[in-house]
Amino acid sequence: MLSVRNISRSFGTHRVVDDVSFDVGRGRLTGFVGGNGAGKTTTMRMILGVLRPDSGSVTLDGEPVGQAALHGFGYMPEERGLYPKMEIGEQLAYLARLHGIDKATATQRGDDLLERLGLIERRRDKLEALSLGNQQRVQVAAALVHDPDVLIMDEPFSGLDPLAVDEVVAVIAEHAARGVPVLFSSHQLDVVERLCDDLVIIAGGKVRAAGEREALRDQYSGNRWSLEMNGDVGWVRGIPGVTVDELAGTTALFDAEPAAADAVLRSAVDRGTVTSFRPVRPTLGEIFRDIVVNAPAGAEEKVEAA
C-alpha cells in the first residue's frame, strides 16, 4: 500500500498542498480528482520524489519511499514529454533501461506495449510524426515499460478518443490486477467513476473526501429517492416532509428523510404496484461539484467541471 501522510508544499507564500493524507491500496485503482490548481500534480510530483515536500512523508508498505523504491515507480506526467525526434521503439527501450532493465528485455517490453496499443508498425517512427492521440499512447507506454511497482498517472486519458480510453484503461487495469497500486487523476469524471475503486477528492490543496467510491456515493447521497409505479404518482406531493424534484406521470424524484420516504413507499404499495423504489445516489460529477463548491474561500476559483 502506498501511503501519503500529511504532506505539504508551498511555493512562495502560496500553500499549494496542505496536509494531504491518503492511501492507495495494492490492486486498487484510485482516482485523484480535483479542479485545476487543486494540488493534484504537485502531490503526484511529491509522491514521485521529483519535488520535495516541505513536511510529511510517503511510504510504500510502511517503508519510506527512497531512491531504490522510486525506481520501480511508473510515472505519466501531466505535461506530456518525450523526445520528439527519437524513434518511439528506441525511446521506450531507453526509458526502460534507465530503470535498470537490460537492453534486449527493454526493447522487447517496448515492442510488446506498442503492440498492445496498436502502434507496433510505427515503432521506427519519430514521436513527432505521430498524431497527438498516438503520442499520448506512447506516453502511457513510457509509464508502463519498466513494469512498475507503483503507477502514478496524471491525466492519462486527456486527448484520447473513447476507443483509445478503453485501450488504455484495459492496460492500466491489467497492471492493477497484478497488485500494483495505481493512482490516476482525471477531469473525465465519467471515466473515473467507471474505472476507479477508490477516490480522493482534493480542493484548495486539502483532501475533501477520500475512500471507496461506493461509500463516498452513499455518504453524499443525501436523501433523494426515486419511485416508479403503475398509475399516476402526483399524490406524493401530499405526503408531509417530502420535497418533489421531478414528477413525470408514473415516476417521481423527491427528497425526504428516511421516515417520510417510508411513508411514501407505504402509500405507494397501498395505491398500486411499485416497480421501483430506490435511493438515488449522486454521480461523481455531482459529488465533485458539491465538494468543490463548498470548499472554503481562498481556494482556487477556477473549477473545471466534468
Q: Does 270 bind another protein (CB under 8 A)?
A: no
Window contacting another protein (CB under 8 A); options: 21-29, 161-169, 200-208, 298-306: 21-29
Q: Which helix (H) or strand (E) holds 15?
A: strand 14-24
Question: Measured between alpha carbons, how far is 235 from 197 in angstroms, rounded to an integer?
Answer: 39
- Closest approach, Cβ 297 to another protein, in A, equals 26
CB-CB contact of 283 with 189 (8 Å): yes
Among 170, 173, 215, 305, binds another protein (CB under 8 A): 215
User: Which residue from 16, 28, 89, 141 is in contact with another protein, where contact means CB under 8 A?
Assistant: 28
124 binds another protein (CB under 8 A): no
Q: Which three cell numbers mark 266?
A: 407505504
Half-sphere exposure of 242 (CA within 13 A, CB side): 26
Residues touching another protein: how many (CB under 8 A)?
58
Query: CB of residue 32 vs another protein: minimum separation in angstroms?
Result: 17
Among 5, 80, 224, 271, binds another protein (CB under 8 A): 80
In eight-state DSSP terms, residue 186 is: -
* Closer CB to another protein, 187 or 217, in the complex: 217
Does 82 help bind another protein (rule: CB under 8 A)? Answer: yes
Q: Cell triple for residue 140?
A: 502511457
Positions in 173-202 near another protein (CB under 8 A): 177-180, 197
For residue 92, which amino acid is it? L
**Locate cell 510505427: which residue?**
122
Q: How far is the CB of 79 from another protein (least distance, A)?
A: 4
* CB closer to another protein, 2 vs 209: 2
Task: Please list every residue from 279 through 298 that binds another protein, using CB under 8 A.
Answer: 279
C-alpha grid cell, residue 219: 455518504
**Cα-Cα-Cα-Cα dihedral sign, residues 157, 161, 165, 167:** negative
Q: Compute the distance between CA of residue 161 and CA of residue 55 in angstroms, rounded to an integer.
A: 39
Burial (CB < 10 A; 0-12, 13-18, 19+), residue 99, is: middle
Residue in 262, 275, 304, 305 binding another protein, rule: CB under 8 A: 262
In single-letter form, the type of residue at position 211 comes to G
DSSP-assigned states of every residue in 202-245: EETTEEEEEEEHHHHHHHT-TTEEEEEESS--GGGGGSTTEEEE
Q: Which stretch binds another protein (CB under 8 A): 15-23, 74-82, 182-190, 199-207?
A: 74-82
Which residues sit at the interface with another protein, rule CB under 8 A? 25-28, 45, 48-52, 60-61, 67-73, 75, 77, 79-86, 94-95, 97-101, 142-143, 146-147, 149, 177-180, 197, 212, 214-215, 218, 258, 261-262, 265-266, 277-279
